[in-house]
Amino acid sequence: MPGGVSSPVRAFGAVGGTPRFIRRGEGAYVEDVDGRRYVDLVMSWGALILGHAHPEVVEAVKRQAELGTSFGAPSKPELELAETITRLMPAVERVRLVSSGTEAAMSAVRLARAATGRTRLLKFAGAYHGHYDGLLAAGGSGLATLGLDSTEEQTLVVPYNDLPAAAAALEARDVAAVIVEPVAANMGVVEPRPGFLAGLREACDRTGTLLVFDEVITGFRVALGGAQELFGVRPDLTLLGKIIGGGLPVGAYGGRADLMAMVAPEGPVYQAGTLAGNPVACAAGLATLRVLERDPPYGRLESAAERLQEACAGLPVTVNRAASLLTVFFTDQPVTDYEGARRSDTAAFARLHGDLLDAGVYLPPSQFEAWFLSGAHDTAVVSRVEEALVQKLKRIIAAR
């Protein structure tokens, strides 16, 4: 395999050392093939909001697998998942299930171009919307980690949180869609400034541009109705993934009924997939959403993340947090966009990553990724992370 991995950041290229090959996960912990146990702050990059191997999710997967793993035909789990998504996210009036967030983004872009008759896109520097060519321009996440980048002539890029620049670009050029992470989480966590998302909505309405929220990370993570509920802004189209698959491969795009009516077989915008709406993935996602509805963990998750943030107060680092998402940046300056994130001392982060691994805490192996908590991260687990984090940060800062 290129780099020995199936996804680049997993190779530990940005932090050094040997990638951990994980054998099993349980609750808030993972265990590698050498038997070492870690508190997990990756949580399958945010997909496992209930923790590893949650009993209800495992049972749903087993039950569906015994009935069949794939049919290439409609099934009850996909219908029930679609019904649940559209009920919990009012802006998603109709939804199409796919197999990844990248597929969701690619399909939504195709739909936006067909609906508007325009080709250009507007995105924000440091935002990652999957490895679709047209959306890799100035991407964060793995591109920033590995020093890679891409520019596409049909893609306009402006700084995140810069509403005047975004509005000016829309006024100057015919743009099919603005695609935005309502909470940036692929340059590390960066919250939207007050009025930023609402201002994008107004600018899109004024210029006939579609507003696309990439909620692959924030969907069902920051609130039951996603970031669009948290910030009270209604997009035209929404991208989903991660949590709606309960840890299995999945993606979805949805939105206004009139737009989704343009998708084949009802309309001319073709999109298909052999494993789209896979019954096992849908069963896992449906089980996850049912638990989230029955016992919402959002207050507990946010309190845990706030505790870690406050533990770092007084240290010359910046801890950005949005709901339960957080990132520690090695800079004492505010981080409000990609340029601010890139000022972080990545060598110091690499040392933090290694030191915390030694202490039994598994961070995302990149400065430019969010840290994720789950419902399984109880008070005792958070205390362990807090103690290790503060201790290692103080040691690294003292040595700089």
Alpha carbon separation from 136 to 9, 121, 299, 384 (Å, rounded): 16, 11, 34, 37
User: Maximum Cα–Cα distance for the chain, whole Å?
Assistant: 63
Question: Does this chain's domain 2-53+296-399 share its CATH topology with 55-294?
Answer: no
Sorted by where each begins, the domain ranges of the chain are 2-53+296-399, 55-294
- Residues annotated as part of the active site: 128, 214, 242
HSE-CB for 37 with a 13 A CA cutoff: 6
Rounded Cα distance, 284 and 57, in Å: 5
CATH topology of domain 2-53+296-399: Aspartate Aminotransferase, domain 1 (3.90.1150)
Q: At what angle do helices 55-67 and 279-294 cross, to 10 degrees?
A: 150
What are the beta bridge partners of residue 223?
Answer: 219
pLDDT at 111: 98
pLDDT at 150: 47
Query: pLDDT tens-digit profile of 319-377?
Result: 999 999 999 999 999 999 999 999 999 999 999 999 999 999 999 999 999 999 999 99
* CATH match of 55-294 with 3.40.50.300: no
Sequence-distant (≥ 6) Cβ neighbours of residue 49 within 8 angstroms = 43, 220, 221, 243, 288, 292, 297, 301, 372, 374, 375
The candidate with the shortest Cα–Cα distance to 142, out of 291, 15, 1, is 15
Low-confidence ranges of the chain (pLDDT < 70): 136-152
Q: Are 325 and 371 in contact (CB under 8 A)?
A: yes
The candidate with the shortest Cα–Cα distance to 276, out of 82, 69, 99, is 99
From first CA to last CA, the distance across the chain in angstroms is 36
Q: At what angle do helices 196-207 and 163-172 cross, to 10 degrees?
A: 10
**Host H or E run for residue 140:** none
What are the beta bridge partners of residue 239?
Answer: 214, 253
Sequence-distant (≥ 6) Cβ neighbours of residue 117 within 8 angstroms = none
Q: Is the preceding peptide bond at 265 cis, omega within 30 degrees of 0? A: yes
The candidate with the shortest Cα–Cα distance to 152, out of 180, 133, 178, is 133
Give the predicted TM-score (pTM) of the model. 0.94
Query: pLDDT tens-digit profile of 174-206?
Result: 999 999 999 999 999 999 999 999 999 999 999
pLDDT at 135: 78
